[in-house]
Amino acid sequence: MPESGEQFKNLLRQNGLKVTTQRVAILEVLNNRPGKHLTAEEIYDYVKKKYPDIGIATVYRTIQVLSELSLIDKLNLDDGYVRYEINKKGKEDTCHHHHHLICLECGNIYAFQDDLLEALEKRIADTMGFEVANHEVKLYGRCKKCRGK
Protein backbone atom coordinates (compact mmCIF):
# COMPACT_ATOMS: atom_id res chain seq x y z
CA MET A 1 0.00 0.00 0.00
CA PRO A 2 2.09 2.88 -1.26
CA GLU A 3 -0.62 5.44 -0.63
CA SER A 4 -1.02 4.49 3.00
CA GLY A 5 2.75 4.82 3.22
CA GLU A 6 2.50 8.40 2.02
CA GLN A 7 -0.33 9.01 4.40
CA PHE A 8 1.72 7.82 7.34
CA LYS A 9 4.66 9.92 6.32
CA ASN A 10 2.46 12.96 6.47
CA LEU A 11 1.04 11.85 9.75
CA LEU A 12 4.52 11.60 11.21
CA ARG A 13 5.55 14.96 9.83
CA GLN A 14 2.40 16.58 11.16
CA ASN A 15 3.31 15.35 14.58
CA GLY A 16 6.83 16.65 14.43
CA LEU A 17 8.49 13.29 14.00
CA LYS A 18 11.13 12.41 11.52
CA VAL A 19 10.00 10.05 8.81
CA THR A 20 11.96 6.83 9.01
CA THR A 21 11.53 3.51 7.31
CA GLN A 22 11.00 1.83 10.65
CA ARG A 23 8.24 4.14 11.82
CA VAL A 24 6.33 3.88 8.58
CA ALA A 25 6.74 0.12 8.62
CA ILE A 26 5.36 -0.14 12.14
CA LEU A 27 2.37 2.00 11.27
CA GLU A 28 1.73 -0.09 8.18
CA VAL A 29 1.89 -3.33 10.11
CA LEU A 30 -0.68 -2.02 12.55
CA ASN A 31 -2.78 -0.58 9.76
CA ASN A 32 -2.82 -3.80 7.79
CA ARG A 33 -4.29 -5.66 10.71
CA PRO A 34 -7.36 -3.66 11.64
CA GLY A 35 -9.06 -4.92 14.73
CA LYS A 36 -5.99 -6.88 15.63
CA HIS A 37 -4.21 -6.01 18.79
CA LEU A 38 -0.53 -6.71 18.46
CA THR A 39 2.10 -7.01 21.13
CA ALA A 40 5.46 -5.31 20.73
CA GLU A 41 7.00 -8.64 19.88
CA GLU A 42 4.39 -9.37 17.24
CA ILE A 43 4.92 -5.99 15.64
CA TYR A 44 8.64 -6.66 15.75
CA ASP A 45 8.23 -10.00 14.01
CA TYR A 46 6.00 -8.59 11.28
CA VAL A 47 8.23 -5.62 10.57
CA LYS A 48 11.26 -7.86 10.53
CA LYS A 49 9.93 -9.69 7.48
CA LYS A 50 10.37 -6.53 5.46
CA TYR A 51 13.18 -4.87 7.39
CA PRO A 52 15.24 -7.56 9.09
CA ASP A 53 17.61 -5.01 10.58
CA ILE A 54 15.10 -3.40 12.89
CA GLY A 55 15.75 -3.76 16.59
CA ILE A 56 13.20 -4.47 19.25
CA ALA A 57 14.22 -1.29 21.04
CA THR A 58 13.11 0.76 18.08
CA VAL A 59 9.75 -0.95 18.17
CA TYR A 60 9.31 -0.12 21.82
CA ARG A 61 10.46 3.46 21.35
CA THR A 62 8.24 4.00 18.34
CA ILE A 63 5.25 2.46 20.04
CA GLN A 64 5.74 4.79 22.97
CA VAL A 65 5.91 7.92 20.85
CA LEU A 66 2.95 6.91 18.71
CA SER A 67 0.95 6.10 21.79
CA GLU A 68 1.69 9.47 23.37
CA LEU A 69 0.49 11.14 20.21
CA SER A 70 -2.63 8.97 20.24
CA LEU A 71 -1.81 7.64 16.81
CA ILE A 72 -2.12 4.18 18.32
CA ASP A 73 -4.06 2.88 21.30
CA LYS A 74 -2.97 0.65 24.13
CA LEU A 75 -4.82 -2.39 25.32
CA ASN A 76 -3.83 -4.28 28.40
CA LEU A 77 -5.38 -7.69 28.90
CA ASP A 78 -3.36 -8.45 32.01
CA ASP A 79 -1.61 -11.37 30.42
CA GLY A 80 1.82 -9.82 30.60
CA TYR A 81 1.70 -8.15 27.21
CA VAL A 82 0.57 -4.70 26.23
CA ARG A 83 -1.16 -4.65 22.87
CA TYR A 84 -1.54 -1.89 20.34
CA GLU A 85 -3.97 -1.04 17.60
CA ILE A 86 -3.99 1.82 15.17
CA ASN A 87 -6.20 4.76 16.01
CA LYS A 88 -7.91 5.80 12.83
CA LYS A 89 -10.04 8.44 14.39
CA GLY A 90 -7.38 10.86 15.39
CA LYS A 91 -6.49 12.71 18.52
CA GLU A 92 -9.68 14.52 19.38
CA ASP A 93 -11.77 11.43 19.59
CA THR A 94 -9.41 9.33 21.64
CA CYS A 95 -11.78 8.98 24.53
CA HIS A 96 -14.42 7.00 22.71
CA HIS A 97 -13.00 3.82 21.36
CA HIS A 98 -11.54 1.92 24.22
CA HIS A 99 -14.38 -0.54 24.50
CA HIS A 100 -13.55 -4.13 23.97
CA LEU A 101 -15.29 -7.45 24.11
CA ILE A 102 -12.81 -10.18 24.86
CA CYS A 103 -13.81 -13.76 24.21
CA LEU A 104 -12.47 -16.02 26.93
CA GLU A 105 -12.78 -19.03 24.67
CA CYS A 106 -11.16 -18.05 21.37
CA GLY A 107 -9.30 -14.97 22.55
CA ASN A 108 -10.74 -12.76 19.85
CA ILE A 109 -11.22 -9.13 20.62
CA TYR A 110 -14.17 -7.15 19.34
CA ALA A 111 -14.68 -3.43 19.54
CA PHE A 112 -17.99 -1.87 20.30
CA GLN A 113 -19.53 1.53 20.62
CA ASP A 114 -22.48 2.40 22.75
CA ASP A 115 -23.98 5.62 23.89
CA LEU A 116 -25.13 4.05 27.13
CA LEU A 117 -21.60 4.61 28.27
CA GLU A 118 -21.96 8.30 27.71
CA ALA A 119 -25.17 8.27 29.68
CA LEU A 120 -23.31 6.44 32.40
CA GLU A 121 -20.59 9.05 32.43
CA LYS A 122 -23.11 11.81 32.74
CA ARG A 123 -24.72 10.08 35.67
CA ILE A 124 -21.37 9.63 37.38
CA ALA A 125 -20.68 13.30 36.93
CA ASP A 126 -23.99 14.16 38.54
CA THR A 127 -24.02 11.77 41.44
CA MET A 128 -20.36 11.74 42.35
CA GLY A 129 -19.14 15.03 41.04
CA PHE A 130 -16.55 13.23 38.99
CA GLU A 131 -15.59 14.69 35.64
CA VAL A 132 -14.80 11.85 33.25
CA ALA A 133 -12.01 12.57 30.80
CA ASN A 134 -11.35 9.11 29.47
CA HIS A 135 -12.42 5.57 30.01
CA GLU A 136 -11.52 2.00 29.44
CA VAL A 137 -14.13 -0.72 29.27
CA LYS A 138 -13.46 -4.39 28.90
CA LEU A 139 -16.17 -7.01 28.82
CA TYR A 140 -15.09 -10.61 29.09
CA GLY A 141 -17.27 -13.46 27.97
CA ARG A 142 -18.14 -15.69 25.03
CA CYS A 143 -18.53 -14.45 21.50
CA LYS A 144 -21.21 -15.38 19.04
CA LYS A 145 -19.06 -17.91 17.23
CA CYS A 146 -18.04 -19.76 20.35
CA ARG A 147 -21.57 -19.78 21.66
CA GLY A 148 -22.74 -21.34 18.42
CA LYS A 149 -20.55 -24.36 18.85
Partner DNA sequence: TTGGGTGCAAAGGCTTTGCATGTGA
Partner DNA sequence: TCACATGCAAAGCCTTTGCACCCAA
Q: Which residues sit at the interface with DNA, rule CB under 7 A?
A: 13, 17-23, 39-41, 51, 53-58, 60-64, 80-82
Q: Are 48 and 34 in contact (CB under 8 A)?
A: no
111: region left, alpha or beta (phi > 0 left; psi from -120 to 50 alpha): beta
Q: How far is the CB of 128 from its own copies (least distance, A)?
A: 6
Q: 49, 57, 126, 133: which one contacts its own copies (CB under 8 A)?
A: 133
Give the Cα separation of 25 and 31 in Å (integer): 10
Task: Report what 136 binds from DNA, its own copies, none; CB cut-off 5-8 Å by kind.
Answer: its own copies
* x/- letters, 79..108, toward its own copies (CB under 8 A): ---x------------------x-xx----
Q: Is residue 9 packed enough to be buried (19+ CB in 10 Å), middle (13-18) or exposed (0-12)?
A: middle
In the bound state with its own copies, the residue whose beta carbon lies nearer, of 17 and 117, is 117
Under the binding rule (CB under 8 A), the answer on residue 112 touching its own copies is yes
Q: Which does 40 bind (CB under 5 to 8 A by kind): its own copies, DNA, none?
A: DNA
Nearer to DNA, 56 or 101 (CB): 56
Beta-carbon-side half-sphere exposure of residue 143 (alpha carbons within 13 Å): 14
Q: For residue 15, which phi and psi values (nearest 5 degrees)?
A: -100, 15
